[in-house]
Amino acid sequence: MNIHPKIQKLLDDISVKNILSLLELDDFSSVFEYADKINYLNHGKYIDIRAIVEFSNYCKRKCKYCGLNSTNSSAKRYRMTEKEIIHTAIEARKAGYLTAVLQSGEDSYFTVEKLGFIIKEIKKQVDMFITLSCGEKTFEELTYLKECRADRYLLKHETADDLLYDRLHPCGTLVNRTECLRNLKKLGYESGGGFMIGLPTQSLETIAKDIFLLYDLQCDMAGIGPFIPHPETELNNYSAGSTELTKKAVAITRIILPKANLPATTSLGVLDSKENNNLFSCGANVIMRKVTPPEYVKLYEIYPTDINVKNIEEERKELELAIRTLEKIPR
Protein backbone atom coordinates (compact mmCIF):
# COMPACT_ATOMS: atom_id res chain seq x y z
CA MET A 1 0.00 0.00 0.00
CA ASN A 2 1.34 3.43 -0.93
CA ILE A 3 1.55 5.70 2.08
CA HIS A 4 0.51 9.30 1.56
CA PRO A 5 3.65 11.47 1.96
CA LYS A 6 2.01 13.45 4.77
CA ILE A 7 1.28 10.25 6.71
CA GLN A 8 4.88 9.19 6.25
CA LYS A 9 6.04 12.59 7.48
CA LEU A 10 3.88 12.17 10.59
CA LEU A 11 5.20 8.67 11.22
CA ASP A 12 8.77 10.01 10.97
CA ASP A 13 8.07 12.89 13.31
CA ILE A 14 4.96 12.86 15.49
CA SER A 15 4.33 16.53 16.13
CA VAL A 16 1.45 19.02 16.34
CA LYS A 17 2.62 20.53 13.04
CA ASN A 18 2.49 17.23 11.15
CA ILE A 19 -0.87 16.28 12.68
CA LEU A 20 -2.25 19.66 11.62
CA SER A 21 -0.95 19.20 8.12
CA LEU A 22 -2.90 15.93 7.85
CA LEU A 23 -6.06 17.50 9.27
CA GLU A 24 -5.87 20.16 6.56
CA LEU A 25 -5.89 17.63 3.70
CA ASP A 26 -8.77 18.16 1.25
CA ASP A 27 -8.94 14.51 0.29
CA PHE A 28 -8.75 12.43 3.46
CA SER A 29 -9.58 9.04 1.87
CA SER A 30 -6.01 7.70 1.96
CA VAL A 31 -5.73 8.58 5.68
CA PHE A 32 -8.97 6.72 6.47
CA GLU A 33 -7.75 3.76 4.45
CA TYR A 34 -4.39 3.68 6.23
CA ALA A 35 -6.02 4.01 9.67
CA ASP A 36 -8.33 1.11 8.82
CA LYS A 37 -5.35 -1.00 7.84
CA ILE A 38 -3.47 -0.18 11.06
CA ASN A 39 -6.60 -0.99 13.04
CA TYR A 40 -6.91 -4.36 11.31
CA LEU A 41 -3.23 -5.18 11.93
CA ASN A 42 -3.57 -4.43 15.66
CA HIS A 43 -7.13 -5.43 16.50
CA GLY A 44 -8.17 -7.74 13.66
CA LYS A 45 -11.89 -7.69 12.93
CA TYR A 46 -12.85 -7.44 16.60
CA ILE A 47 -15.15 -4.77 17.98
CA ASP A 48 -15.07 -4.75 21.77
CA ILE A 49 -18.37 -3.89 23.37
CA ARG A 50 -18.30 -2.22 26.80
CA ALA A 51 -21.26 -1.86 29.15
CA ILE A 52 -21.66 1.58 30.74
CA VAL A 53 -23.36 1.80 34.14
CA GLU A 54 -24.13 5.45 34.91
CA PHE A 55 -24.49 5.14 38.66
CA SER A 56 -24.83 8.77 39.81
CA ASN A 57 -25.61 12.03 38.05
CA TYR A 58 -24.63 14.20 41.03
CA CYS A 59 -21.62 16.34 40.20
CA LYS A 60 -19.83 19.04 42.19
CA ARG A 61 -18.24 20.59 39.09
CA LYS A 62 -19.55 23.29 36.78
CA CYS A 63 -18.29 22.35 33.30
CA LYS A 64 -20.03 24.77 30.96
CA TYR A 65 -21.05 22.22 28.31
CA CYS A 66 -22.41 19.53 30.60
CA GLY A 67 -26.04 18.94 31.57
CA LEU A 68 -24.93 17.37 34.85
CA ASN A 69 -23.06 20.44 36.09
CA SER A 70 -24.02 21.47 39.63
CA THR A 71 -25.63 24.76 38.52
CA ASN A 72 -28.25 22.97 36.42
CA SER A 73 -31.15 23.08 38.86
CA SER A 74 -33.53 21.46 36.38
CA ALA A 75 -31.58 18.17 36.38
CA LYS A 76 -33.33 15.48 38.42
CA ARG A 77 -30.55 13.86 40.44
CA TYR A 78 -30.19 10.16 41.29
CA ARG A 79 -27.75 7.76 42.84
CA MET A 80 -27.92 4.02 42.31
CA THR A 81 -27.42 1.96 45.44
CA GLU A 82 -24.28 -0.15 45.76
CA LYS A 83 -26.47 -3.24 45.40
CA GLU A 84 -28.03 -1.91 42.19
CA ILE A 85 -24.63 -1.08 40.68
CA ILE A 86 -23.22 -4.52 41.46
CA HIS A 87 -26.37 -6.23 40.18
CA THR A 88 -26.35 -4.25 36.90
CA ALA A 89 -22.69 -5.07 36.23
CA ILE A 90 -23.33 -8.75 36.89
CA GLU A 91 -26.36 -8.74 34.57
CA ALA A 92 -24.18 -7.15 31.89
CA ARG A 93 -21.58 -9.92 32.34
CA LYS A 94 -24.31 -12.55 32.01
CA ALA A 95 -25.43 -10.87 28.76
CA GLY A 96 -21.90 -11.26 27.39
CA TYR A 97 -20.13 -7.99 28.28
CA LEU A 98 -16.53 -8.45 29.39
CA THR A 99 -16.12 -4.90 30.73
CA ALA A 100 -18.28 -2.68 32.93
CA VAL A 101 -17.57 1.04 32.76
CA LEU A 102 -18.73 2.54 36.07
CA GLN A 103 -19.42 6.18 35.29
CA SER A 104 -20.67 9.13 37.36
CA GLY A 105 -20.31 12.84 37.88
CA GLU A 106 -17.80 13.94 40.54
CA ASP A 107 -19.95 12.80 43.42
CA SER A 108 -18.30 12.97 46.87
CA TYR A 109 -20.90 10.53 48.23
CA PHE A 110 -19.11 7.75 46.38
CA THR A 111 -15.89 7.68 48.38
CA VAL A 112 -13.05 5.47 47.19
CA GLU A 113 -13.97 3.05 49.98
CA LYS A 114 -17.48 2.69 48.52
CA LEU A 115 -16.14 2.37 44.98
CA GLY A 116 -13.54 -0.15 46.14
CA PHE A 117 -16.24 -2.23 47.79
CA ILE A 118 -18.31 -2.23 44.58
CA ILE A 119 -15.32 -3.28 42.43
CA LYS A 120 -14.35 -6.07 44.83
CA GLU A 121 -17.91 -7.41 45.00
CA ILE A 122 -18.27 -7.48 41.21
CA LYS A 123 -14.88 -9.18 40.81
CA LYS A 124 -15.77 -11.69 43.53
CA GLN A 125 -18.91 -12.74 41.67
CA VAL A 126 -17.94 -12.53 37.99
CA ASP A 127 -14.84 -12.41 35.82
CA MET A 128 -15.04 -8.92 34.39
CA PHE A 129 -12.83 -5.91 33.66
CA ILE A 130 -13.76 -2.75 35.53
CA THR A 131 -13.26 0.68 34.03
CA LEU A 132 -13.89 3.67 36.26
CA SER A 133 -14.98 7.05 34.94
CA CYS A 134 -15.75 9.19 37.98
CA GLY A 135 -13.57 12.25 37.61
CA GLU A 136 -10.26 13.42 39.05
CA LYS A 137 -8.78 11.60 42.05
CA THR A 138 -5.61 12.04 44.07
CA PHE A 139 -2.63 9.71 43.60
CA GLU A 140 -3.49 8.01 46.93
CA GLU A 141 -7.12 7.50 45.92
CA LEU A 142 -6.12 6.03 42.56
CA THR A 143 -3.61 3.76 44.32
CA TYR A 144 -6.35 2.47 46.61
CA LEU A 145 -8.75 1.83 43.70
CA LYS A 146 -6.03 -0.04 41.84
CA GLU A 147 -5.48 -2.19 44.94
CA CYS A 148 -9.21 -2.95 44.79
CA ARG A 149 -8.55 -4.25 41.26
CA ALA A 150 -9.89 -1.46 39.04
CA ASP A 151 -8.40 -2.15 35.60
CA ARG A 152 -8.90 1.02 33.61
CA TYR A 153 -9.76 4.67 34.15
CA LEU A 154 -11.35 7.11 31.72
CA LEU A 155 -10.67 10.80 32.19
CA LYS A 156 -11.09 12.84 29.04
CA HIS A 157 -8.93 15.95 28.94
CA GLU A 158 -11.69 17.61 26.82
CA THR A 159 -9.41 20.27 25.29
CA ALA A 160 -5.65 20.74 25.23
CA ASP A 161 -6.00 24.51 24.87
CA ASP A 162 -5.27 26.10 28.29
CA LEU A 163 -7.42 29.17 27.76
CA LEU A 164 -10.38 27.24 26.42
CA TYR A 165 -9.97 24.70 29.22
CA ASP A 166 -10.13 27.47 31.82
CA ARG A 167 -13.18 29.06 30.18
CA LEU A 168 -15.09 25.78 30.15
CA HIS A 169 -13.97 24.37 33.48
CA PRO A 170 -14.30 26.84 36.40
CA CYS A 171 -13.53 24.01 38.84
CA GLY A 172 -10.33 22.59 37.41
CA THR A 173 -7.15 23.08 35.43
CA LEU A 174 -5.64 21.30 32.45
CA VAL A 175 -2.45 20.82 34.50
CA ASN A 176 -4.33 18.83 37.17
CA ARG A 177 -6.19 16.85 34.55
CA THR A 178 -3.05 15.76 32.71
CA GLU A 179 -1.27 15.10 36.02
CA CYS A 180 -4.09 12.73 36.93
CA LEU A 181 -3.75 10.98 33.55
CA ARG A 182 0.00 10.59 34.09
CA ASN A 183 -0.63 9.15 37.56
CA LEU A 184 -2.98 6.57 36.06
CA LYS A 185 -0.18 5.37 33.78
CA LYS A 186 2.30 5.28 36.67
CA LEU A 187 -0.09 3.12 38.68
CA GLY A 188 -0.53 0.59 35.87
CA TYR A 189 -4.07 1.46 34.86
CA GLU A 190 -5.08 1.40 31.24
CA SER A 191 -5.61 5.13 30.99
CA GLY A 192 -8.16 6.84 28.81
CA GLY A 193 -8.06 10.43 27.63
CA GLY A 194 -10.20 12.10 25.02
CA PHE A 195 -11.68 15.35 23.83
CA MET A 196 -14.57 17.02 22.06
CA ILE A 197 -14.74 18.21 18.49
CA GLY A 198 -16.58 21.48 17.86
CA LEU A 199 -16.08 23.38 21.11
CA PRO A 200 -16.52 27.16 20.72
CA THR A 201 -13.30 28.86 19.44
CA GLN A 202 -11.62 25.50 18.80
CA SER A 203 -9.43 25.53 15.70
CA LEU A 204 -7.84 22.72 13.68
CA GLU A 205 -4.63 23.51 15.52
CA THR A 206 -6.38 22.93 18.86
CA ILE A 207 -7.50 19.53 17.59
CA ALA A 208 -3.94 18.75 16.48
CA LYS A 209 -2.81 19.62 20.03
CA ASP A 210 -5.53 17.39 21.46
CA ILE A 211 -4.39 14.43 19.36
CA PHE A 212 -0.75 15.09 20.23
CA LEU A 213 -1.57 15.19 23.94
CA LEU A 214 -3.09 11.68 23.69
CA TYR A 215 0.20 10.59 22.14
CA ASP A 216 2.30 12.44 24.70
CA LEU A 217 0.36 10.79 27.54
CA GLN A 218 0.57 7.43 25.72
CA CYS A 219 -3.14 6.91 26.41
CA ASP A 220 -4.33 3.31 26.17
CA MET A 221 -7.83 4.50 25.29
CA ALA A 222 -9.19 7.70 23.77
CA GLY A 223 -12.78 8.87 23.49
CA ILE A 224 -13.16 11.44 20.73
CA GLY A 225 -16.67 12.69 20.14
CA PRO A 226 -18.52 15.72 18.82
CA PHE A 227 -19.66 18.45 21.19
CA ILE A 228 -23.45 18.38 21.55
CA PRO A 229 -25.11 21.47 23.08
CA HIS A 230 -27.28 20.90 26.13
CA PRO A 231 -30.28 23.30 26.43
CA GLU A 232 -29.71 23.92 30.16
CA THR A 233 -26.08 25.05 29.81
CA GLU A 234 -24.32 28.28 28.84
CA LEU A 235 -23.31 26.74 25.52
CA ASN A 236 -26.88 25.98 24.49
CA ASN A 237 -26.76 28.25 21.44
CA TYR A 238 -23.65 26.78 19.86
CA SER A 239 -23.81 24.25 17.04
CA ALA A 240 -22.89 20.60 17.44
CA GLY A 241 -19.44 19.44 16.37
CA SER A 242 -18.74 17.92 12.96
CA THR A 243 -18.97 14.14 12.66
CA GLU A 244 -16.62 14.20 9.66
CA LEU A 245 -13.93 16.04 11.62
CA THR A 246 -14.45 13.59 14.49
CA LYS A 247 -13.75 10.70 12.12
CA LYS A 248 -10.59 12.43 10.89
CA ALA A 249 -9.34 12.91 14.47
CA VAL A 250 -10.03 9.24 15.26
CA ALA A 251 -8.16 8.13 12.12
CA ILE A 252 -5.04 10.17 12.96
CA THR A 253 -5.14 8.96 16.55
CA ARG A 254 -5.27 5.37 15.29
CA ILE A 255 -2.19 5.99 13.15
CA ILE A 256 -0.07 7.38 16.00
CA LEU A 257 -1.47 5.12 18.75
CA PRO A 258 -1.91 1.84 16.85
CA LYS A 259 -2.71 -0.31 19.89
CA ALA A 260 -5.05 2.10 21.68
CA ASN A 261 -8.69 1.27 22.23
CA LEU A 262 -10.69 3.88 20.36
CA PRO A 263 -14.45 3.88 20.91
CA ALA A 264 -17.05 5.03 18.46
CA THR A 265 -18.39 7.31 21.19
CA THR A 266 -22.04 7.47 22.18
CA SER A 267 -22.12 11.20 21.34
CA LEU A 268 -21.30 10.36 17.74
CA GLY A 269 -24.05 7.76 17.67
CA VAL A 270 -26.47 10.37 19.00
CA LEU A 271 -25.73 12.69 16.08
CA ASP A 272 -25.68 10.11 13.37
CA SER A 273 -25.90 6.37 13.82
CA LYS A 274 -24.57 5.83 10.28
CA GLU A 275 -21.43 7.76 11.16
CA ASN A 276 -21.05 5.57 14.22
CA ASN A 277 -20.90 2.53 11.94
CA ASN A 278 -18.58 4.28 9.52
CA LEU A 279 -16.14 4.91 12.34
CA PHE A 280 -15.33 1.22 12.33
CA SER A 281 -13.73 1.64 8.94
CA CYS A 282 -11.47 4.51 9.97
CA GLY A 283 -9.87 3.36 13.18
CA ALA A 284 -12.37 2.77 16.00
CA ASN A 285 -12.42 -0.70 17.57
CA VAL A 286 -14.69 -0.28 20.58
CA ILE A 287 -18.33 0.56 21.15
CA MET A 288 -19.88 1.61 24.44
CA ARG A 289 -23.43 0.56 25.25
CA LYS A 290 -25.47 1.92 28.16
CA VAL A 291 -26.85 -0.72 30.50
CA THR A 292 -27.99 1.83 33.11
CA PRO A 293 -31.41 0.78 34.48
CA PRO A 294 -34.33 2.35 32.54
CA GLU A 295 -35.49 4.48 35.50
CA TYR A 296 -32.14 6.33 35.53
CA VAL A 297 -30.83 6.30 31.97
CA LYS A 298 -32.81 9.36 30.79
CA LEU A 299 -31.55 11.35 33.77
CA TYR A 300 -27.87 10.92 32.89
CA GLU A 301 -27.79 13.74 30.42
CA ILE A 302 -24.36 15.22 29.76
CA TYR A 303 -25.91 16.07 26.38
CA PRO A 304 -29.50 15.39 25.23
CA THR A 305 -30.10 11.84 23.95
CA ASP A 306 -33.05 9.62 23.27
CA ILE A 307 -31.14 6.49 24.27
CA ASN A 308 -33.21 4.01 26.25
CA VAL A 309 -32.35 0.70 27.84
CA LYS A 310 -35.03 -1.99 27.77
CA ASN A 311 -33.37 -5.37 28.09
CA ILE A 312 -29.62 -5.76 28.54
CA GLU A 313 -29.44 -9.19 26.94
CA GLU A 314 -31.64 -8.47 23.93
CA GLU A 315 -29.85 -5.19 23.22
CA ARG A 316 -26.49 -6.89 23.38
CA LYS A 317 -27.72 -9.48 20.85
CA GLU A 318 -29.04 -6.74 18.53
CA LEU A 319 -25.72 -4.93 18.72
CA GLU A 320 -23.77 -8.11 18.00
CA LEU A 321 -25.92 -8.69 14.94
CA ALA A 322 -25.38 -5.12 13.72
CA ILE A 323 -21.60 -5.55 14.17
CA ARG A 324 -21.63 -8.82 12.22
CA THR A 325 -23.45 -7.15 9.33
CA LEU A 326 -20.41 -4.82 9.09
CA GLU A 327 -18.29 -7.98 8.72
CA LYS A 328 -16.73 -7.39 12.12
CA ILE A 329 -16.62 -9.72 15.12
CA PRO A 330 -18.29 -8.55 18.36
CA ARG A 331 -16.42 -9.34 21.56
The H-or-E segment that residue 53 falls in is strand 46-56
| Residue 274 to residue 243: CA distance in whole angstroms | 10
Which of 99, 105, 206, 257: binder of ligand SF4 (CB under 6 A)?
105
Q: Which is nearer to ligand SF4, 105 or 293 (CB)?
A: 105
Footprint of ligand SF4 on residues 69-88 (CB under 6 A)?
A: 69
Under the binding rule (CB under 6 A), the answer on residue 61 touching ligand SF4 is: yes
Residue type, 46: Y
Q: Which 8-state DSSP code applies to residue 279?
A: G
Question: Residue 49 in contact with residue 266, Cβ under 8 Å?
Answer: no
Footprint of ligand SF4 on residues 271-330 (CB under 6 A)?
A: 302
Among the residue ranges 15-23, 62-70, 210-218, 275-283, the one whose residues contact ligand SF4 (CB under 6 A): 62-70
* Cβ at position 303, least distance to ligand SF4 in Å: 10
Q: Which is nearer to ligand SF4, 38 or 228 (CB)?
A: 228
Torsion sign, CA atoms 37, 41, 43, 44: positive
- Residue 96 φ/ψ region, left for φ over 0, alpha for ψ in the -120 to 50 degree band, beta for the rest: left
* Cβ at position 257, least distance to ligand SF4 in Å: 23
Beta-bridge partner residues of 293: none
Which of 20, 52, 53, 59: binder of ligand SF4 (CB under 6 A)?
59
Footprint of ligand SF4 on residues 172-231 (CB under 6 A)?
A: none
Of 227, 104, 98, nearest to 154 (Cα)? 104
Residue type, 232: E
Residues that bind ligand SF4 (CB under 6 A): 59, 61, 63, 66, 68-69, 105-106, 135, 302
